[in-house]
Structures are given as structure tokens and as C-alpha cells.
Amino acid sequence: MWPKPPIKETIMETSSQCLRSSPTGTCTLLPTLSLPAPLSPLFSSDCTLLTPLFLLGIFLLLISLCASHYLSRSPITELGQLGPRGRRNYSWNESTHGAGGRFVDWWLFGGCVWIRSSLFLWDRMCHFLGLSHGGADEDGEESCGGENLFACFGVVHNHDYKNKDGKAAENADTTRNEQTHQGKHGIGIIGYDSSLGAHGPVVLAPIRASVFILAWCSIGAFFVRAHAELTHFLIHYNAETFNFLPTSLRENLITMAFYVLQGIEYIFGRYPYFLQDEVLPSDSSMIGMITCAIIYATALITTLELALYVVGKLFSMIGIYVPKGVSHPGGPRPHKIVRVPKWTEGKKHFLPEELLMGQNNIKWRCAVAHDAHRDTLAKFNKAAGKVEVSDTTKEILLTGEPFGRQLWTMLEPQPCDQNVESEDDLNMTLRKALIPSKSNSEGTQQQPEAKEDMPNLFKQISDLFNPNVNPQSKSKPSKQSELVQLLASGGRRPWAFDPSKNPNSCDQIFRAQMISSYLEENEGKLPDDIAHIQRDESKKQIPAKTVKEAAKRGVAFYSMLQSPDGHWAGDYGGPHFLMPGLIVAWYVMGRPALMISPPQQALMLHYLKVHQQEDGGWGTHIESPSTMFGTVICYLAVRLLGAKRDEKWVTHARDFILKEGGAVMTSSWAKFWLCLIGCMDWKGHNSVPPEMWLLPNWFPFHPGRLWCHCRMVYLPMGYIYGSRFTYSDAENDPLIKELRQELYAEPYESIDWDRTRHLVAPMDNYSPIPTFMKFAQNCLSFYENYRVFRPFRDAVRGAGLKFCLEYMRAEDLQTNYIDIGPVNKALNMVAAFHAANNDINDPAVQSHMTRVPDYLWLAEDGMKMQGYNGSQCWDTSFAIQAVFECGLLDHFPLLSTKVWAYLERTQILSTETSQSSPAYQYESCDNRDKFYRHVSKGGWPFSTSAHGWPISDCTGEGLKGVLALMNSPVVVEAVKTDVLKSIDANRLYDAVNVILTLQNEDGGWATYENNRGFGWFEELNPSEVFGDIMIDYSYVECSMASLTALAEFHEKFPHHRSKEVAFAIRRGGEFMKSIQREDGSWYGSWACCFTYGCWFGIEGLIKAGEPSSSVPIQKCCRFLLSQQRPNGGWGEDFTSCYDKAYATNGMQSYGNDGSGVVNTAWALMALSAAKCNDVEAIRRGVQYLMSRQLECGDWPQEGISGVFNRACGITYTAYRNVFPVWALGRCAATYGDALDEKK
């Protein structure tokens, strides 16, 4: 029992004696901390800081940090990997599913690091001694050392994999490049020590022990000191201090204080008594004290670990704290979006004829592949006054694989290089080999003979655009162009852009061009399955009668849109904040016409004007309500493009900005562009120190751990901020002076910029910056602005800027100057311009400018900047899988063979052209480690091979597309006869290697890289407008695409790394179940939203071996069925992602009575994959898709489909064609004729 606390009388009677007897002023007669004699020296010494126990903690910490610094030579590029070898009987129940985890998870559940470190040491000892301690696997083979223990943190060995016959597997001669990413390094304990590689647990365990010991010593010393101080206080001052309290209450407070203090001291002081006599040595020698300290520390740590684990389990059981991995998206958000966008009703916008017509009546056209390359070279050589293009110039300006490239140009097609096999040669070869003379180019049926005037109907391409430009146009549409317009209209009449009805374009201009080209190549004939449109003169609608017929019509229409090189192009715009960044860069660099030509400027201005909302603002994206982020940066772009300040629509936008407090209330990204152009002082932007890149790799918040998109944006930001680069003529430019007065609610000269750094409008503040991050930013502000730090800052900033420049140069070359995305494309270009001393003719700057058109897209709403250089490979991979599931690969032989050719050319660093580019030199291990790049060779991109960034789900879908085409006799025969280039097995093995090495320790897959960071990184998110951007999380979409690709590959190649593949699939399935929401749904992070996530979730689990009757799958089916609308469809919009809650009425504005064809297709694909028993619900959904299909096989363009970073929508015009076809084909194959309309 605790000793009874002294009452007031006892204290007062002994106060004078206490003061005389104690030189320190404490009362020695009162209860004090009492320790066993052998333990007393552990907590006391002549120097209170240098006690043996404290020194032990310091020693462990220093040794661990030194070891971590040494072991951090495991590159950042390999952090977070699951490793290729898998444990089979791992029984430790991890309470945290996500890589990185939370701080609380580390304290409550991190104790399993001791088990893992013990297993690690045991594994290494057995490996060193040549012993085998693994059991037999399911094939009866003996496991390699350690593979059944804890390969989830990288304890792996590079053994040759053998098949059941004992023969070496196909990849026994793995190169060093592949070996590095197949297990040379691993990861850590549930994400907490992922910077330490396979040795992480051994390092983390003593770090954790030292933290416990130091905390114990510090807390113990604090309470002992507090006991003495409180006793002194109560003796001397309680009467005077608490005289306003009643005597009884005062005595009770004193008694309570002593009870609390003595209770805590009992834990620290009396706890060790059980060690006395029996365990602790009696001598006080150095060895004895060290032994004593170690024994005490061991008992202490064991007790604390058990106590923390028990507390954590109790918290989980009663729901106080239920740990979830960082990859669990959470939700719903407590503060949902309530504002809606609004445009002036009935205001139709037409593209002026002069914007679509160039010199000599040449119109805009979309050039692809080699045609696009030739166009770029011709434009730049014309500007340089050259007649011929030298080989050196070609290498400087354009590198990488041309296939997939697409740009809009007003130049006529340039002559082909006879020495280069282009997409035109491919198209001609395939048509000659596959299409019989005088037959239709697609389908197996012969086209009935056309009417006499039909072959000439589509030769007059000059009539194509005029009718849809302006209703008052004098040029009337011909009969020929009317049909093209009908096919390309996407169900919209008349041809005009009305954002109040739908702010999404439906790609009328591009689709009209492709349909016209198709008809020219095929003697004016449509594909067989939609040829009735030409034959029927009554104009009567002829709907599809069966599900299979509807699917055929969909594929037939979409086949006309296929580009000559085999991919499908489309509008990938939507965000409003991308193009203004490019315009600022163009203005800063002197407004070069080669970068943005006058016709492009006019089309950009038109785009910004038509998307302005009724309140005068612009949203962050086309379906977003107006935000300060979107409005400020779009207003800046409008003025830089030449709009006058007194124009009514410009004034209206300025009024919106001033009403919300001026440009100081916009988000940090917009402020950065304002600083760069000279419309804001750099003191108004929070610091982006480039010297962060000089930190050691083991540093917890090293920039190399960030998600690559975030990392590659803040890299050039750091360079530009560190250089304080500003538009050189800002002080003299009249326009900049005007903008300084227009954008702010107070005079520009009077603004205290430092006080504006944290200001942001509530409408922009999706992810409010936490208090700790604001504190850190304030500290950095002191660092940037106070002279006391200048010597150190000057010493390190130069090195930081040098590394940033080197890193940006590497990014430019690895991506052939395309760069990972549009934001860092513009920033890298500005940085290159600055590094070249503002020389616009510098080769690097010129190379950058050649790739600007890759990001621009033209549609009926004007010219915009896309969120990438296109979505070519992503859309094409989905499309060919849809055709495959419809059973139509050989029904459309030209389509299938062209897709094969495109996918073969698009595999990253796998063709002769791509391997001859500078990007291939950066694939070496040293370069990848230096610049934080994951292995790239063998992956497939989102867009083009030249882009150079492989993604897990794009690699998975690309691999599945190739595997699907291997089932086509037409494709197989074309490969055998050398009409098509082959994709040998080694290239498929490279793709599998990319997928396997991208699997995270939580079992899921992220996007471009493994999860390298921690969950608390999000507390340092400085963007305000985006959510969950700091690290690369594991997503249900990436996990399903990767898992299913491995499963389908395993079916065709069962002996290649079979155990690794099987283990990866199992782990992936477990991860997908771990992030399923309570209502049975999955949150879709890259599209709108829950129907999308549910499709990926169900299909992934089915491929992972989960039976369709299992609880997770049935739970998801019930969720989907509960969301079906009365008309049979499903509908969501971007607010599902934004709010993390199902948007029940999401498609009310831009869909059909709350439903949309894309969401309906996703829901049907999920339900049919699960073999849902509610056939009537499936039938109603299928009939809804068929009822929405246009007679030509197209579907109408509805609301925005894509989303990124939780809060921003993005357009995929291809989705309205691909997914309805896919859903129809899958449902028809699963349910047969039961889905056809009841008579």
C-alpha cells in the first residue's frame, strides 16, 4: 500500500525543521522516492544527466542511428517493396495494414519489431551457417532460408527459381539491373523503418528501446523533482496561495496531490523491488552496474511493450482507436461540398471560323506518331531558317518512341522519311495483309454496293468544320458533312458548346476528323455493323435488338476513331489550373511563338471565356464551383493572353477576386505563379528550400520519399524559389503593373507579404494546413529572411540548387522533355530557361518547347492543357480488353492488329528506338538510385513510351491487353508472318518484374513507386487544394490491375516465378479486403468513384481466388444493388470522391435522370464478375445502356469521369465508348439471352 499522505497539520508542524535540515529546501521528513540499493545508482550520480540507465539509452540510440545511416545506403528507390520471396506461414497478426502507419500505431502495435528482428537474426545465422530452417511449401519443395518468415520486410535471397522439374526458371540469368529490384533490398516493419532495407528491424528495435529508456528516465526525473518542488510549495506557500479556498477543500487538494505524486513515484521507485536480491548483483562495480542497467531495461521494455499492446487491443475492441493503414482512404468527410457551378442558361458558344482556319484555308488537324514528329521538326526548322533537318538536330529536338504522340497542328502533312517505318507504312501493310479487295475494312461481311454518289461523299474535307462553327455561317453543310457531323456529335444538337447543359466537351472536332479519314480510306463506307445508317433513307431510328448487337455497334463505331498508329486519342482536359501555368511560363520566357502561336493563344482565350461561370469565377476544374485558386490563376492567364481589363467578362472575374479578399486569399500553387510573373513578392510564398535535397537518405522527411508527382513539382519549385527567379522585365512591363493593382484589395505597395503566407479562402481549403506545418513554415520564414542564418544558408543553397538542376536535367532526359506532368513541365522549362541565362535558343529550352504541343488539346470548347500528354495507353489497353470480352477480336482484325503494334511500340525502354534515347542511360542502378526512380524497363505508361514513367496499373492493363491479343488467331498469324513485330517472353517477364517489385509491404500496389514515406507526411501537405498527395498510397485500382495481370500471366506462363506470383496475388487480395468500407464498397481514387472502386474490388478478389459467394463480394453486390436507380442505371459525379460519400444524385445535372452510362457500365461489370443472382437488376442495367446508345453505336458525353488527388475532376471522353461496350460484352457472356428486352 502507498504510505498515507501527511495532512496539513503535520506539514505545518514540521515545516521549519524541514527547511533547516535540507539544504535544497525540500522536506526530508515527507515520503520520498525509495529505491533498492543496487538500483539507486541507475537513477542518480554526481551528474544527474549521466546516470547509467540514461547512458544506456543514449548509447543504444547513437548506435542505432549510426547503423541506420550506414544501412540507408539501401536506395530510396527500393523502399517499401514487398520483396520477391514470400513467407507462407506468417502468423503474427499485424494490426496496421498500411505502409507508413500512424504515430499511435507505432507506440501501440510496433512491438512486433522485436519478433521480426529476432527472426531476422535467426535467418541470417542460418544463412551464414548454410542451414535450412524453412518448411516444405505447397509443392513439396523445401523453402529457401527465410522466405516463410517475414519477407514482407525484405528478408530475401537471390536464389535461382526452379520449377517442379528442378530446372532453372526462364529468368535464371537475371541481370544485375533486375536483381537489384528483385530482392537485394527490402522494406521494414509495417512501414516504420522502410528506409533501412532488410536490416530495418534490427535497427528499429534498439531505437524503440532507447526511446522507452530515455522517456522512462526523463519522466522519472521529472516526477521526483516535482515531488520535492510541490512539497516545498505546499509547506511554504499553500496558506497564502490558497487562502481563498475553504480549509477542508484546501486539505483535500493537498491530499490528492500527494496521492498522485506518490502513485507515480511508486511505479518508478517501487516497481524494481522484485529484482532485488534474486536478480541484481550486489556489487557496485562497473560491470555490475552495466548488468544491472541491462536487466532493468529488459524488464522495463518487456513490461511496457506488453502493456502498450494490451491497451491497443482494448482500444480497438471498444472502438476508441481502430488502427487503419494509411492506404485506407477513410471518409465520409464531415464538411461536404455544398456549392454548385452555374453558367448562364442557354448561352451557346461557337468557335469562330477564323480560329479554325489558317493560311491557305488549312484547318487544325490532329497529327500522331511520326506525322507529329515531322510536323514539329518542320516548324522548328522553318523558324530557324533551315531547309533540311540534320541528324544532330533531330537528336537534340526529338527523342524517344514516336508511337502514341499526338498534337494539333495547322501545317500540312510533311513528306515521310523513306528510311523510317512509320504508322502509315504499318497501316498500309496491315490493310494489304488483312483486308480482301473491295471489302469492308472492318467486319467479315461484304458491304452492299454503295449508291453512285457515295464514293465522293467524303472527299470534301474542307466542309467539315464550317457548319459547326457558327449558325450564321454563310457556308451551308453539304449532305456529305452532315453525316460526319451526325456521327461525331455525341448526341448533341446543334453543334455548339453550352456549359450550362454540360461543361464537358464530347470531342466533336477530333472525332469528325477521324471519321472522315476512315471513310476516305474505305471508299465512303461505314463498318458493316452500322452501315444501315447510310442505307436507310427514311431517317428512322433502328435500335439494336440484342445485347451482342449493341456491343458490335459500339465496337464498330469506336473502330473508326482509332489512330493510324493503333491507339485511341481523346480529350484528357478538365483542370483549369494547368494551362495558366504554361501561359505564365510562355510570358516569362518572352512569349515565343514556337511555344504558343497566335492561333493557339486565341483558342486558349476562347476556352477560358466559355468556361467562366455566372459569378465571374472559374472552378478548379470544369465541374467545380468557382474557387479562388481557379479564378485567380485563370484571370492571370486571361490578361497575359491579351484580354483587356475593361472587357465586361474580365471585369466580372476581377470583381469575384476582390469580393473574396484579393489574390492573397488564393492557394499556394497560384501564389507561386504570381511570384514568378512578378505580381507577388516572394515573401508572400512559404519557403521551398532546395537544400532539403541534401539531407541524408535516412532522414524521415527526405523529399525522395514523396509521391513522384508531388516530388517532381516541388523540385523545380525549390530551384526557382531558391534562385528567387522572377520575370526579368516585371518592373517595366505595363501589364504586370496593371495586374499588381487589379488583383489585390489594397495597394500593392502597402501589403505586408509575410502576413499573407497562410491566408487561403475557405473555398480553396480542401486540406487545411495543420498547426505543426504552419509552425514549420514560420521557422523556415525566419531561416529565409533573417541575416543570422545567411552564412549557413548561402553555404548550402548553392549545392541544393546544383542538385535540383541536375535532377531536373535527368527528369527531362528520362522523359524526352515531356516530363511527368503539365505542372512540372512548365516549371522545368522555366528552370531550364533560367539556367541558360534566359537564352531562348538554348538546346534544352528548344527541346522543351518541342514537347509543349503534346499537352494541348483542341475541342469544341477551345484549346486546353491536358492533365498528361494524353491517356493513350490507358484507354487503348481497356479498349482491347473490352473487344476481347465481347469476342470480337477477329471480327475487327485491323483494329486488333493495330493495337498489338501500338502496345509493342509503347512498352517502356523495350524497343530499339527507346533504347537509343538518353532515357535508357538513366536506367542504370546508380542513376535510378541517385534520382529516386523505380525500375522502368518493361513497364507500360499511361500515355506514351517516350513519357518514360511506368505505372503499376498501366503496366497491368497493358500486359493484359497483350495477353488478350495472344488469343486472336489473326494477330498470332500476323506475328508469325512478320507482318507484326513480336513481343517475346522476356519482355513480358520484364513487365511482371515491374509489377512484382512495385508491390508494397501492405500487399497492395501504389502508382509509380513503392510507398517510401509515412502516414504523417500528410500532416505536412502544403497544397491546401489537394488531398493525400504526399506519398504513393496503395490503391484498389492499382492493386486490382496488377493482381489480375499477374493472375492472367500465370495462366499462360505457369513456370515463371510461379511462387512469387502466387504469393503476390494472395497478398494483394488480402490488402483489397482490408480497405473495403463497412458498407461493402471500395473508394475509387482515380474516377467517380464507388462504382469504379467496386468494379476493381470485386474483379480483383475474384482473380485472387475469392469465391463469388464470399462475404466481401456479396457485401459489395448488396451495396451496388442498393444504389441502382429506378431507370436501371447508376450515377455519380466528382463529389463522391470529394466528399468520400456516394453522390446519390451525382448525375442529375449531366446524366439521364440521375444515371450515367459510364457508372452504369462499371456497376454492371462488377456485378457480372461476381455472377450476381439478381438477373433482373442486371437486365435493367443492360437495357439502360442500350436505351442510351446512339444509333451509330456511340454514347452521349455526360459528366466528368476521372478524378485525381481527391478533389479535382478530369475528362476521359473515351470512357463513354469503352466501358459500355465492355459491360455489354461481359454481361452477354455471363447471362446470355436472359438480358435481352422482354417482349
List active site positions: 953
Query: Which of 109, 188, 95 lies closest to 150 in space, CA to CA?
Result: 188
- Are 622 and 504 spatial neighbours (Cβ–Cβ below 8 Å)? yes
CA distances from 816 to 108, 854, 876, 906 (A): 47, 12, 22, 14
Inter-axis angle of helices 1058-1074 and 985-997, to 10 degrees? 40
CA distances from 202 to 119, 305, 528 (A): 10, 17, 67
CA distances from 610 to 351, 503, 605, 903 (A): 10, 9, 9, 37
Quote the CA–CA distance of 303 and 653 in Å, as a whole number: 64
Q: CB neighbours (10 Å) of residue 226?
A: 15
| Phi-psi region at 643: left, alpha or beta (left = phi > 0; alpha = psi -120 to 50) | beta
Burial class (CB in 10 A: 0-12, 13-18, 19+), 1200: buried
Q: Is the dihedral of CA 188, 193, 195, 201 positive or negative?
A: negative
DSSP H helical segments within 1104-1214, as ranges? 1111-1122, 1135-1139, 1157-1169, 1175-1188
- Are 466 and 484 spatial neighbours (Cβ–Cβ below 8 Å)? no
Give CA angle at 552 (550, 558), nearest 5°.
Answer: 105
Beta strand 365-368 with 1202-1204 is unpaired
Quote the CA–CA distance of 1121 and 1112 in Å, as a whole number: 14
- Are 858 and 603 spatial neighbours (Cβ–Cβ below 8 Å)? yes
Burial class (CB in 10 A: 0-12, 13-18, 19+), 515: buried
Set of cell numbers at residue 373: 514528329
Query: Which of 153, 495, 548 lies closest to 353 in space, CA to CA?
Result: 495
Quote the CA–CA distance of 529 and 550 in Å, as a whole number: 9
Q: CB neighbours (10 Å) of residue 569?
A: 25
Residue linked to cell 508542524: 13
Give CA angle at 242 (238, 244), nearest 5°.
Answer: 150
Set of cell numbers at residue 472: 450564321
**Cα Rg of the chain, angstroms:** 34
Measured in degrees and rounded to the nearest 5, phi and psi for residue 1005 equal -120, 135
Quote the CA–CA distance of 954 and 707 in Å, as a whole number: 17
Quote the CA–CA distance of 620 and 435 in Å, as a whole number: 48
Burial class (CB in 10 A: 0-12, 13-18, 19+), 645: middle
Instruction: Please give the single-letter amino acid code of residue 686.
Output: N
CA distances from 219 to 212, 302, 399 (A): 10, 18, 62
CA distances from 641 to 497, 831, 859 (A): 22, 22, 19
Give CA angle at 337 (333, 340), nearest 5°.
Answer: 165
Contacts of 16 (CB under 8 A, 6+ apart): none
